[in-house]
């Protein structure tokens, strides 16, 4: 069972969290013209790396804050967690 | 009954308490502290089971978790349980057990015919046959194989036992209470660490229970007992027996199963049967010991042939002789301990040692005791169908490919020792790569991936002295990382027999022209010839060998067979073992009761049940409930013998004619506050929100980024910077997470806060022509006229002293209002409404009538918003703002989403105006077309229109709007229905929406 | 090639089974192949077999970095079905069912196709209606489906929770009678043996490390055992597709997630069907060995670890006990995990790519095993003819751009929600 350090609450077991996917994916700015390719990149296409992965998690059964996690997808090791306004 | 094989002394059993039990219908006695296995052996019972495939007679091989053969069916008054391991289960008064997988009895088993046919049933035979004729596999062969397979019988009834979960944290978890584990626990505990010591067996001490050693001038067992007492007295230590750590998961999460009930003679009603412990540890000491490997020789699988370490445990721990004329067959010194124990108890063993010689103290001691030892000898074969009665032994030739001579020696048991396999399961589960250690011919942990350290024989250290040193050292070092107290414990001196090297030879050659079966996997019937066959056929990877032969796939998961199988492949392939590799260790270490993993989430508690504050009222008034997500909602209020359809019709009619009240508490409610709230809604919803006046509500549709409709609902502007959003019951939680995501991740600059208030408010809908009259009575101080409170208007009110929110919104399409009060006042509100509404013929209505009302009005709900539609499919084109961007908008111009003939919402009426169209029917142009018959759309929702008194359905239909007026067929082959229908507008009743505005 | 039958078994018994030939050879890789298939799993082996058999292309290599059949074909819950709602899926998998029905005979290898019926339990009228939509769609596509009432189910699975203490009572169910199971290892081995006998080189322990592309055309692959020239390469590496695609500078609409399954200890047969729980993600069947084979939900975060965590197993088994309360007293013997290619609409991709000679077979989500024959069959066609077949014409890569999605569950792009 993963142990995830919520930047606001501290270490908790994974049961309190829900996953939010690849944090490298950036939503295009609202109202901005985007090409089909850029849009597909945002909605569907993923790097899906084996190894280090920056991802979002949501402390859904806790403080309800979204935050960032740097995790190895091949070992599940978590190297770092950070608030959204912090560098990961 | 006498316990003929019980010694007068020895053992840690309680001889003052006799326990009776039944095995295969016969009554026996044992003592408190026995396992079922030791008690049976005390009574001389060796034939206890049959092998899986060939039904060969089987006896005990081990004395612990490694036991592959003695798996029994257990019976109690309430239930039965298959596959319990006789070496693991403690004897309790009245225990009833039977052998499995044999018929009619273990003594005479018809299945043994398979043994005669075994020549044509080698490994993987089933892949090569049973293919003709084609349908016979499923109809004939498979049922026969299924009946023959399986071990015990599953209970058919629910489990009445209770299983609990516990969560713990500690600094150092020590798994196993052998010498290194005790040392580690003691050192860590004395150094101030929070320690948990877990022992799988009922007794602490591991090998110290059975070995003739001393620690600190005490007998090993006494040192173990004292150490346990000392640990138990410390407040920073939890000491647990009958507790097996079975899984090492991510981030040092260890899971342990504690057996809390089955060994107790008279448990209370409240005693849980087992407890599952989730332990998050900072450091782990794996002192999991090692398991003896069998030697492989002709007919080495007969009852009476067992591991030497098991025989020693039966003798020392239980005071049981496994035989009175034993042969000990070994390739190492460990088995000499057993020989000496036999001799000390008046039994003369014969030792067959593969080695040419040994200079160990154990061998010297044995020789001094006058024990008969035959070096350079091996057992080639054994005899005795249901119990071994003799062995064919011989001197091995120089290159160990055959025998120089062969002779028959009678015996009543054979105790074998093929050296030790470290128990590396937990270490491997933690991600540790294993390395092969030549010195011991087995795998040991290499480099830790998590905070895990292995000590003692689990990492290939087989002397007591080194194990103790190792344990003390690690216990101190690991604990000191955490406590930094620098309190070192002194290591007590120890004394033990020294050992010489073992012989790597373990698989005996067959005598010339003999074709004896040499067993590798005892439960699954995998023999040397099977593994040879697999390799011959190209199954050369160890995983292929395992899968093809089923080696190591039985309920013991190959604890005694995997390494032997591996060595065999390595021998045949002439590859070194590291090249062959090993199969993967996965949790659990031993089979774990499913109920224990599930815990308390059973029966009604499988998932929480959410009830509105008015639930009891509904119950009292004959509501029939329906599951809506986790909520229970009244589906209808049953009167007399009426059916669901009758009730829905009655309730809906009353709404159309008079007034109805519906509990809408379960709708998701989200409070939105902040100066950018309107801007936020503008981005979340497809329509415009900036100009919504205070005191007004608006219907909104939100999309996913891929353009698909996510949810809908009304949102009300309570004040300039305060909105009240409603969501569907099903999506409430998802919508909140969605909003939080966008606020926190995407637009952190927006000044908005969101909070779920679903539980805060009790909600009712009042619908029907009389609803305004009633509202006036409920709120005499408020002007509820159409002008003052128009459609989509909002007012705060005072419901006889209770603050309330009044929304003029309508799902039923009637003149309607929703009232929210704080949850605690819900029942007050409901009863007040019922009281004042009585004269207006108010009646409650459930979700079924609600469906009827919304369907004939053409309002969409979950059956249309099914995660595959875009707004225009639901005639919600008007909801899409052209002026602003919003979530998912960019996706709406994709090719498939702008195709003109997309499936769109329409109404459907049967031509005969009588036949209800089953939901889930499909619309086709030609009812008799050959299959596949092209589908034009499907019926999403059906009702009996109370307005027109005929059936009406909603459908999502290809090119739907253009087909209005067309005749099609609604087909439901599942229900054998074919109905001619006419396509009409989805707004069947009040298409202009006059009523809601009236 | 030796023919397998009861007669050959008896004949070989007389020579102590010493004369069986290898099921497939272990050749060294050649320098050049007409087609290289990457991935010796079920789909790769089947593709190679159909390339040789249907399209007479036999100069084919299968490159497998480990041992054949070691990926998802060897770590699934062995369920076969074509009970899909959308035509694209239904017609595709139904063709697959027809291939399954004759597979043992075609491969001369007993894959133990067992049409024992797959039942989806429904726990409300609304769910029954959703199932009706799917079942009716199946029937109109010529696929077998029947609706079962609560009373019928009581007779078929009396040990299911029909009590009043059930949290989500059973209302009925949808059944595909021809759905069932097959023996997973046998499928891989059967295809391997036939492909080998038709001339395909099965090369194990050979990892593809790169691709050679010139002017938008594939010219070869680099491997741990040397470079191989080829003009066509087919990727059949579900679970790891993104890793190979990255070497081709492609981002795919795929995430890798771990799906766990587990088995109980073997018991005498009591469950004769495959049953899925409708109030959660749980399905169960009983293997011929007697083990209850159980599976359910993803662990829920990107993973290549082939190992999962206990909360998911706990969650899945709680659903199991909710469905079959008697499971509580059985013991869980073994758990394992497989890596799924979770595509963004839950349906697979079998297509050409923008690089000439590179073909893609991926995105199988949880459903790859049952697709093994039809996936191989259509992929072989796509590679051999350089165009998609009618059956896989909807499983294009560009459907994500055009919006022609095949979203069977309607959950969108959050692949981890399943």
3-state per-residue secondary structure call for B526-559: EEHHHHHHHHHCCCCCHHHHHHHHCCCCCCCCCC
Query: CATH fold of B853-984, please?
Result: Elongation Factor Tu (Ef-tu); domain 3 (2.40.30)
Residue B577's pLDDT band (cuts 50, 70, 90): confident
Q: B780: which residues sit within 8 A by CB, 6+ positions away?
A: none
Name the DSSP class of C82.
Answer: -
- The answer on pLDDT for B295 being more than 80 is yes
> Is any Cβ of chain B less than 8 angstroms from the Cβ of A62?
no
pLDDT band at residue B78, thresholds of 50, 70 and 90?
confident
Residue range(s) in chain B whose domain bears CATH number 2.40.30.110: 853-984
Partner-chain contact B592 C332, CB within 8 Å: yes
Looking at the 3D structure of chain A, how many domains does it have?
1
Q: Do C311 and A14 touch (CB under 8 A)?
A: yes
Residue C134 three-state SS: helix
Within a domain: A18: yes
Is C69 in contact with B539 (CB distance < 8 Å)? Answer: no
Interface check for B2 against chain A (CB to CB < 8 A): the answer is no
Instruction: Please name every residue paired with B214 in a beta bridge, in sequence order, or none if there are none.
Output: B219, B495
* B828-to-B534, B768, B799, B932, C58 alpha-carbon distances in Å: 76, 21, 10, 57, 80
Which residues of chain B does CATH 1.10.10.1100 include? 518-585
Taking all residues of chain C, what is their mean pLDDT, rounded to a whole number? Answer: 96
CB-based contact C255 A53, cutoff 8 Å: no
C123-148 pLDDT, tens digit each: 999 999 999 999 999 999 999 999 99
Do residues B764 and B819 lie in contact, with contact meaning Cβ atoms separated by under 8 Å? yes
Superfamily designation of domain B163-290+422-486: FAD/NAD(P)-binding domain (3.50.50.60)
Q: Answer whether A1 sits within 8 Å of C344, measured CB to CB.
A: no
Say if the Cβ atoms of B595 and C328 lie within 8 Å. yes
User: Domain B518-585: what homologous superfamily?
Assistant: BFD-like [2Fe-2S]-binding domain (1.10.10.1100)
Distance CA A45, CA C344 (A): 9
How distant is the Cα of A19 from the closest Cα of chain C, in angstroms? 6
Q: How many CB pairs under 8 A join A and B?
A: 55
Residues of B within 8 A of C70 (CB-CB) are 541, 543
Nearest residue in chain C measured CA to CA from A38? C401
pLDDT in tens, B893-908: 999 999 989 999 999 9
Using the Cβ of C373 and the Cβ atoms of chain A, whether some distance falls under 8 Å is answered with no
With 90 as the cut, is the pLDDT of residue C73 above it?
Answer: yes
The reply to whether A37 falls in a domain is no
Does A34 fall in a domain? no
Residue B218 Cα to chain centre, angstroms: 45
> For residue A38, is it within any domain?
no
Task: Identify which of B250, B745, B891 has the shortest CB distance to residue A56.
Answer: B745
Residue of C nearest to A54 (CA): C302
Is the model more confident about C409 or about B695? B695
ipTM, 2 dp: 0.98
Instruction: Find the radius of gyration of the CA atoms of chain A.
Output: 14
Beta strand pairing call for B761-767 and B816-822: antiparallel
What's residue C180's pLDDT?
97
Which region holds residue B170: left if phi is over 0, alpha if psi is between -120 and 50, else beta? beta
Domain with CATH 3.50.50.60 in chain B: 163-290+422-486, 294-418+501-515
The DSSP-derived string for B643-705 is -HHHHHHHHHHHHHHSEEEEE-TTSEEEEEESTTHHHHHHHHBSS--TTPPTTBEEEEEEE-T
> What pTM does this model have?
0.97
Domain membership of residue A71 as a residue range = 1-25+49-88
In tens, the pLDDT along B173-216 reads: 999 999 999 999 999 999 999 999 999 999 999 999 999 999 99
**Virtual torsion, Cα C173, C177, C183, C189, nearest 10 deg:** -130
Considering the domain boundaries, does residue A39 fall inside one?
A: no
- Mean pLDDT (chain B) is 96
Q: How far is B610 from chain C (nearest CA, A)?
A: 12
- Between chains, do A66 and B890 touch, taking CB under 8 Å as contact? no
Q: Please give the structure tokens belonging to residue B334.
A: 């460990």
d(CA B541, CA B583): 10
Note the pLDDT of residue B583: 83
* Coil, helix or strand at residue C219: strand
Residues of chain A in contact with residue B449, where contact means CB-CB under 8 angstroms, are 75
Q: What is the pLDDT of residues C304-363, one digit of tens each?
A: 998 899 999 999 999 999 999 999 999 999 999 999 999 999 999 999 999 999 999 999
Is A63 within a domain?
Answer: yes
Intervals of CATH 3.10.20.440 along chain B: 1-158
Q: How confident is the model at residue C418 (pLDDT cuts 50, 70, 90)?
A: low
Distances (CA, A) of C334 to B554, B581, B595: 10, 20, 15
- Select from B286, B284, B280, B283 the least CA-distant residue to B169: B280
The rounded percent of chain B whose pLDDT value lies above 90 is 96
Encode pLDDT of B21-70 as tens digits. 999 999 999 999 999 999 999 999 999 999 999 999 999 999 999 999 99
Contacting C residues, span 235-254, partner chain B, CB-CB under 8 Å:
none
* Closest residue to A2, CB basis, from B250, B740, B886: B250
B1 pLDDT above the threshold of 60: no
Contact state of A45 with C252 under an 8 Å Cβ cutoff: yes
Architecture in CATH of B1-158:
Roll (3.10)
Residues of A in contact with B683 (CB under 8 A): 30
CATH class entry, domain B294-418+501-515? alpha beta
Give the pLDDT band of residue B303 (cuts 50, 70, 90): very high
CB B359 within 8 A of CB B500: yes
Task: Choose among C20, C147, C267: nearest Cβ to B150.
Answer: C267
DSSP string of C258-305, one letter each residue: EEEEEEE--B-----SEEEETTTTEEEEE-TTSPEEEEEEEEEEE---
- Rounded CA-CA distance B350/B923 in Å is 85
Q: Identify the burial level of C408 via C-beta atoms within 10 angstroms of its C-beta, where 0-12 means exposed, 13-18 middle and 19 or more buried.
A: buried
pLDDT band, very low/low/confident/very high, at C417 (cuts 50, 70, 90): confident
Contact C303 A76 (CB under 8 A): yes
Mutate to test the interface with C, among A3, A24, A44, A48 (most CBs of C within 10 A): A48
Interface contact C289, partner B, CB < 8 A: yes
The share of chain B scoring above pLDDT 70, in percent, equals 100
Per residue in B552-564, pLDDT tens?
999 999 999 999 9
Query: B749 CB near a chain A CB, below 8 Å?
Result: no
Tens digit of each residue's pLDDT (9 = 90 or more) over C274-304: 999 999 999 999 999 999 999 988 999 999 9
Residues of A in contact with C243 (CB under 8 A): 50
* 3-class state of residue B716 by DSSP: strand
| CATH code, A82 | 3.30.2270.10
Cα atoms in the Cβ-side hemisphere of radius 13 Å centred on C89: 22
Subunits next to A (3 or more Cβ pairs <8 Å) are: B, C
């Amino acid at each position: 069972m993963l142990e995830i350090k919520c930047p606001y609450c501290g270490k908790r077991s994974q049961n309190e969290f829900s996953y939010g996917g690849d944090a490298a994916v950036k939503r295009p700015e609202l109202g901005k013209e985007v090409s089909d390719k850029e849009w597909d990149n945002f909605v569907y296409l993923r790097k899906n790396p084996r190894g280090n992965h920056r991802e979002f998690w949501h402390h859904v059964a806790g403080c309800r804050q979204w935050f960032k996690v740097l995790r190895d997808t091949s070992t599940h090791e978590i190297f770092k967690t950070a608030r959204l306004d912090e560098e990961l | 009954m006498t316990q003929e094989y019980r010694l007068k002394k020895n053992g840690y059993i309680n001889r003052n308490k006799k326990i009776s039990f039944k095995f295969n219908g016969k009554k026996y006695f044992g003592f408190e502290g026995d396992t079922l296995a030791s008690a049976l052996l005390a009574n001389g019972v060796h034939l206890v089971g049959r092998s899986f495939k060939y039904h060969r007679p089987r006896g005990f091989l081990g004395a612990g978790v490694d036991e592959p053969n003695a798996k029994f069916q257990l019976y109690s008054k309430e239930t039965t349980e298959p596959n319990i391991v006789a070496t693991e289960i403690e004897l309790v008064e009245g225990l009833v057990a039977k052998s499995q997988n044999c018929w009619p009895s273990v003594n005479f088993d018809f299945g043994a015919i398979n043994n005669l046919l075994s020549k044509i049933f080698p490994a993987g035979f089933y892949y090569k046959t049973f293919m003709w004729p084609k349908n016979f596999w499923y109809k004939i062969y498979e049922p026969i194989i299924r009946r023959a397979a399986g071990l015990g019988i599953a209970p058919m009834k629910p489990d009445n036992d209770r299983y609990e979960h516990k969560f713990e944290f500690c600094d150092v978890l020590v798994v196993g209470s052998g010498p290194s584990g005790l040392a580690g626990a003691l050192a860590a505990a004395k150094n101030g660490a929070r320690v948990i010591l877990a022992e799988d067996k009922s007794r602490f001490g591991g090998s110290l229970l059975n070995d003739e050693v001393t620690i600190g001038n005490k007998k090993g067992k006494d040192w173990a007992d004292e150490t346990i007492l000392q640990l138990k007295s410390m407040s920073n230590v939890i000491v647990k027996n009958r507790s097996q750590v079975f899984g090492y998961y991510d981030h040092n999460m260890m899971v342990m199963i504690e057996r809390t009930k089955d060994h107790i003679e008279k448990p209370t009603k409240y005693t849980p049967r087992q407890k599952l412990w989730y332990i998050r540890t900072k450091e782990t000491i794996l002192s999991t010991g090692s398991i003896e490997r069998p030697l492989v020789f002709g007919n080495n699988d007969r009852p009476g042939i067992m591991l030497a370490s098991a025989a020693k445990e039966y003798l020392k721990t239980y005071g049981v002789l496994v035989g009175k004329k034993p042969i000990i067959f070994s390739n190492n010194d460990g088995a000499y301990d057993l020989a000496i124990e036999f001799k000390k108890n008046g039994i003369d063993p014969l030792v067959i040692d593969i080695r040419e010689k040994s200079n160990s103290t154990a061998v010297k001691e044995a020789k001094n005791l006058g024990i008969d030892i035959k070096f350079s000898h091996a057992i080639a074969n054994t005899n005795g169908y249901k119990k071994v009665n003799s062995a064919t032994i011989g001197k091995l030739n120089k290159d160990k490919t055959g025998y120089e001579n062969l002779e028959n020696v009678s015996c009543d048991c054979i105790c074998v020792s093929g050296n030790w396999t470290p128990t590396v399961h937990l270490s491997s589960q933690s991600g540790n790569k294993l390395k092969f250690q030549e010195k011991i011919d087995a795998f040991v942990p290499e480099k830790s991936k998590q905070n895990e350290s292995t000590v003692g024989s689990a990492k290939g250290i087989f002397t007591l002295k080194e194990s103790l040193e190792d344990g003390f050292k690690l216990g101190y070092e690991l604990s000191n990382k955490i406590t930094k107290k620098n309190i070192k414990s002194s290591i007590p001196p120890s004394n033990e027999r020294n050992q010489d090297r073992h012989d790597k030879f373990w698989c005996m050659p067959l005598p010339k022209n003999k074709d004896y079966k040499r067993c590798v996997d005892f439960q699954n019937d995998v023999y040397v010839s099977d593994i040879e066959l697999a390799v011959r056929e190209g199954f050369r990877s160890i995983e292929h060998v395992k899968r093809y032969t089923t080696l190591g796939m039985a309920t013991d998961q190959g604890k005694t067979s995997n390494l032997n199988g591996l060595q065999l492949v390595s021998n045949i392939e002439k590859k070194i073992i590291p090249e062959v590799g090993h199969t993967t260790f996965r949790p659990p270490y031993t089979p774990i009761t499913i109920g224990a993993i599930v815990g308390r989430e059973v029966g009604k508690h499988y998932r929480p049940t959410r009830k509105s504050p008015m639930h009891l009222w509904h119950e009292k008034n004959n509501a029939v409930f329906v599951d809506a997500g986790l909520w229970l909602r009244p589906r209808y209020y049953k009167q007399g013998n009426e059916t669901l359809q009758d009730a829905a019709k009655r309730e809906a009619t009353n709404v159309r004619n008079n007034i109805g009240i519906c509990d809408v508490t379960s709708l998701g409610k989200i409070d939105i506050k902040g100066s950018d709230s309107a801007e936020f809604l503008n981005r979340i919803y497809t329509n415009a929100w900036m100009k919504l006046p205070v005191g007004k509500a608006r219907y909104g549709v939100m999309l996913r980024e891929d353009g698909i409709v996510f949810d809908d609902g009304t949102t009300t502007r309570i004040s300039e910077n305060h909105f009240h959003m409603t969501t569907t019951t099903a999506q409430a939680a998802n919508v909140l997470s969605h909003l939080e995501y966008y606020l926190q991740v995407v637009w952190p600059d927006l000044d908005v806060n969101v909070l779920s208030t679903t539980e805060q408010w009790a909600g009712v809908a009042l619908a029907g022509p009389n609803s305004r009259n009633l509202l006036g009575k409920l709120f005499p101080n408020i002007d509820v006229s159409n002008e003052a409170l128009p459609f989509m208007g909002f007012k705060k009110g005072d419901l006889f002293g209770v603050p309330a929110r009044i929304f003029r919104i309508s799902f039923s399409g009637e003149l309607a209002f929703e009232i929210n009060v704080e949850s605690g006042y819900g029942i007050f509100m409901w009863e007040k409404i019922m009281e004042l509404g009585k004269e207006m013929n108010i009646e409650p209505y459930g979700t079924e009538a609600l469906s009827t009302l919304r369907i004939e009005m053409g309002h969409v709900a979950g059956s249309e918003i099914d995660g595959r539609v875009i707004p225009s499919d639901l005639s919600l084109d008007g909801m899409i703002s052209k002026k602003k961007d919003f979530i998912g908008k960019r996706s709406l111009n994709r090719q498939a989403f702008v195709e003109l003939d997309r499936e769109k919402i329409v109404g459907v009426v049967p031509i005969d105006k009588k036949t209800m169209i089953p939901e889930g029917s499909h619309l086709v142009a030609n009812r008799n077309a050959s299959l596949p018959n092209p589908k034009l759309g499907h019926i999403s929702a059906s009702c009996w229109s109370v307005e027109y008194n005929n059936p009406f359905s909603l459908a999502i239909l290809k090119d739907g709007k253009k087909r209005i007026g067309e005749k099609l067929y609604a087909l439901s082959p599942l229900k054998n229905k074919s109905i001619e229908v006419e396509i009409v507008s989805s707004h069947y009743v009040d298409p202009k929406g006059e009523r809601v505005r009236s | 090639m030796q023919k397998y039958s009861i007669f050959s078994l008896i004949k070989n018994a007389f020579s102590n089974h010493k004369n069986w030939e290898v099921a497939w050879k272990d050749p060294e890789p050649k320098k050049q192949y007409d087609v290289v298939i990457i991935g010796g799993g079920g789909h790769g082996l089947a593709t190679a077999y159909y390339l040789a058999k249907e399209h007479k292309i036999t100069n084919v290599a299968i490159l497998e970095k480990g041992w054949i059949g070691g990926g998802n074909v060897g770590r699934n819950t062995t369920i076969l079905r074509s009970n899909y709602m959308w035509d694209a899926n239904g017609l595709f998998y139904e063709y697959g069912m027809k291939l399954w029905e004759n597979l043992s005979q075609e491969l001369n290898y007993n894959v133990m196709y067992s049409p024992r019926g797959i039942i989806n339990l429904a726990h409300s009228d609304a769910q029954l209606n959703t199932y009706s939509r799917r079942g009716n769609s199946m029937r109109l596509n010529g696929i077998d489906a029947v609706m079962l009432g609560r009373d019928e189910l009581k007779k078929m699975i009396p040990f299911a929770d029909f009590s009043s203490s059930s949290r989500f009572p059973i209302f009925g169910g949808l059944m595909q009678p021809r759905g069932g199971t097959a023996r997973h290892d046998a499928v891989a081995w059967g295809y391997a043996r036939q492909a080998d006998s038709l001339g395909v080189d099965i090369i194990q322990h050979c990892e593809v490390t790169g691709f050679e592309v010139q002017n938008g055309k594939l010219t070869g692959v680099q491997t741990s055992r040397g470079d191989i020239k080829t003009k066509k390469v087919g990727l059949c590496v579900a679970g790891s597709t993104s890793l190979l695609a990255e070497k081709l500078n492609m981002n795919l609409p795929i995430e890798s997630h771990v799906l766990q399954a587990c088995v109980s200890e073997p018991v005498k047969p009591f469950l004769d069907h495959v049953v899925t729980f409708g109030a959660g993600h749980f399905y169960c069947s009983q293997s011929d060995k007697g083990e209850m084979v159980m599976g359910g939900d993803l662990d829920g975060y990107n993973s290549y670890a082939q190992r999962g965590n206990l909360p998911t197993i706990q969650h899945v088994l709680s659903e199991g006990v909710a469905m079959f309360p008697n499971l509580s007293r059985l013991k869980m013997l073994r758990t394992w995990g497989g890596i799924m290619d979770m595509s963004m609409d839950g349906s697979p991709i079998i297509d050409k790519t923008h690089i000439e000679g590179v073909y893609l077979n991926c995105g199988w989500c949880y459903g790859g095993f049952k697709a093994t024959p039809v996936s191989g069959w259509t992929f072989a066609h796509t590679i051999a003819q350089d165009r998609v077949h009618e059956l896989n014409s909807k499983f294009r890569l560009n459907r994500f751009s055009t919006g022609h999605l095949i979203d069977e569950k309607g959950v969108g792009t959050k692949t981890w929600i399943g």
